[in-house]
Amino acid sequence: MGLTTSYSKTETDVKLQRLQMLFGSGLHEKPLKISDPVPTQIGGYILAEIGDYAFGTTEVNKWNVGFLSSGGWEIISVEISATNNSNNSEFTEFNNLWSGNNFLNLNANRSLNIDKTKKQGYLIVKQDSTGNKTLTVESTLLDINLLANQKTLIGYILIGTELMFSINKNLIETTVAIPDSQNPSPATLTTENITHNSVNLIMTGATDNVGVVGFDIYKDNVFLVSTNLNNYKVTGLALNTNYSFKVKSKDAAGNVSVFSNIVSATTLAQAVPTSLTFSVHDGSFTTLSDGVHRITNQNEVGVSDQTLTGDGYFEFGGNVIGSMMFGLDDVSTLRSYGNPLVWNCHVIVGNSLGDNYVNYRNGSQSQQGSPSGILKYRLSRTGTQVKLLKSTDGTNFTDLYNYPNAISGELWLKLSNPVGGTATTEYVKLLNL
């Protein structure tokens, strides 16, 4: 007895994934073979065109499925979705057996079998540049597109021993924009270089299907800043204070990760200067120990690797050997001591000269006499103002000279030997406030 559509409630398009889920879930009866009785319980279903169970003419690239509902037989047309790329992530290249979803570049007449452990699948077949290659599956010659470089979409379903194909020879392909909705993975957060007012945050390990482009940084659970750097320096922190930090990874589409691990950092109780290194220098420059440097030839120069980036000071001991010139300069080249003097500002400290000199860029000088008992000096910048300070007890500093020229931007710390002979520093240090 054949079934008709007279009891049909409605016709609904159902995506391929829905049909596959029903077939594989085991929640419904298996599709009936020809000899099986028509299902009588709600939820039972049969495929169209099995025996004389006919549910009307199927459209191209669709199957009709009959479901028994409370209102009678419902016909659902299941679409076989096409794809615009035969080697996308949902299709794998054919290898020996047609197993699930594959693509096949047809460069010769082929005869293949299906993996019978896979009850349904799709195959995208592309003819080579000459075309006319045939395809036989399980001894059945399939009616595929024979034109050169053309594709055919073939679907199969295996029910018991019944194998059925759906073939779309005129495969329509198009390109659609698929928005990126995948969130990045969280970063691993660590800290380094903790000072009295700053800490460096290091973000590693964050991944994304397209790419991680930056991080949102939170301090004490409050958003602080966004950055595209993997190493970000947080500044403006208070002395001897504990802070907690966490970050979220971001991609270009605006997707964000969950929070990273939380790290804590306690700033130092007081500002601590750091020793300077001088990898750019003339031939007579020698580093003897941490902070102790020697220049034996007159006018030769050493340029610091570190710089004074804002407020802070360049500190050096007053007990030098010979005569040493200490200065700040806004260029990193080996501009030597000479006439005219070209550094932004400097001071000469020396027991051979017996005097201390200060100088600014236009070359005019101001002699400060021969102060005694000075243990330390500082070239200190606040804003754009630079001062020379002195300390006789190594702790407290008083003004010695105000440089009249405003100095801004990044400054390199320089050493030079103004008179020749042996000139050696006691120590040199830098503090960025």
Predicted confidence (pLDDT) per residue in 251-284, tens digit: 999 999 999 999 999 998 877 788 899 999 999 9
- Judged against a pLDDT cut of 70, whether residue 386 lies above it is answered with yes
pLDDT score for 403: 86
- Judged against a pLDDT cut of 60, whether residue 39 lies above it is answered with no
pLDDT score for 238: 92
Integer angstrom CA distances of residue 74 from 28, 77, 98, 262: 15, 10, 32, 56
Confidence of residue 64 (pLDDT cuts 50, 70, 90): low
pLDDT score for 345: 86
Task: Kindly calculate the radius of gyration of the chain based on its CA atoms and give it in whole angstroms.
Answer: 40
User: Lowest-pLDDT range, 227-231, 259-263, 405-409, 411-415?
Assistant: 405-409
Residue pair 419/298 in contact by the 8 Å Cβ criterion: yes
Distance CA 282, CA 6 (A): 100
Higher per-residue confidence, 294 vs 100: 294
Whole-number average pLDDT of the chain = 78
User: Lowest-pLDDT range, 22-31, 195-204, 256-265, 277-286?
Assistant: 22-31
User: Lowest-pLDDT range, 147-151, 208-212, 229-233, 339-343?
Assistant: 339-343
Residue pair 323/425 in contact by the 8 Å Cβ criterion: no
DSSP state of 310: S
- Judged against a pLDDT cut of 90, whether residue 43 lies above it is answered with no
Distance CA 70, CA 405 (A): 93
DSSP state of 256: B
Q: What is the mean pLDDT of residues 341-367?
A: 64
- What 3-state class would DSSP assign to 131? coil
* pLDDT digits 0-9 by tens, 307-316: 998 899 999 9
Query: The pTM is what?
Result: 0.46
Distance CA 184, CA 181 (A): 10
Q: Both tokens of residue 17?
A: 């994934």
Cβ neighbour number for residue 172 with a 10 Å cutoff: 11
* pLDDT digits 0-9 by tens, 130-162: 999 999 999 999 999 999 989 898 888 888 889
pLDDT score for 188: 97
- What 3-state class would DSSP assign to 411? strand
Cβ neighbour number for residue 296 with a 10 Å cutoff: 16
- The percent of residues in the chain predicted with pLDDT above 90, rounded, is 40
Distance CA 369, CA 305 (A): 32
- HSE-CB at 350 with a 13 A cutoff on CA atoms is 21
User: Lowest-pLDDT range, 210-224, 232-246, 247-261, 347-361?
Assistant: 347-361
DSSP state of 138: T
Distance CA 8, CA 11 (A): 8
Calculated CA dihedral for residues 422, 427, 432, 433, nearest 10 degrees: -130
Instruction: Return the bridge partners of 216, or none.
Output: 226, 248
Phi, psi dihedrals of residue 172, rounded to the nearest 5°? -95, 125
pLDDT score for 365: 56
Residue pair 92/83 in contact by the 8 Å Cβ criterion: no
User: Lowest-pLDDT range, 73-82, 88-97, 384-393?
Assistant: 73-82
Q: What is the mean pLDDT of residues 106-133?
A: 89
- The distance from CA 165 to its chain's CA centroid, rounded to whole angstroms, is 46
- Judged against a pLDDT cut of 60, whether residue 99 lies above it is answered with yes
- The distance from CA 398 to its chain's CA centroid, rounded to whole angstroms, is 49
Sign of CA dihedral 414, 420, 422, 426: negative
- What 3-state class would DSSP assign to 25? helix
DSSP state of 335: -
DSSP-derived secondary structure for 296-365: -STT-EEEEEEEE-SSEEEEEES--BSEEEEEEES--S---S-SS--SSEEEEEETTT-S-EEEETT--E
User: Lowest-pLDDT range, 96-110, 224-238, 331-345?
Assistant: 331-345
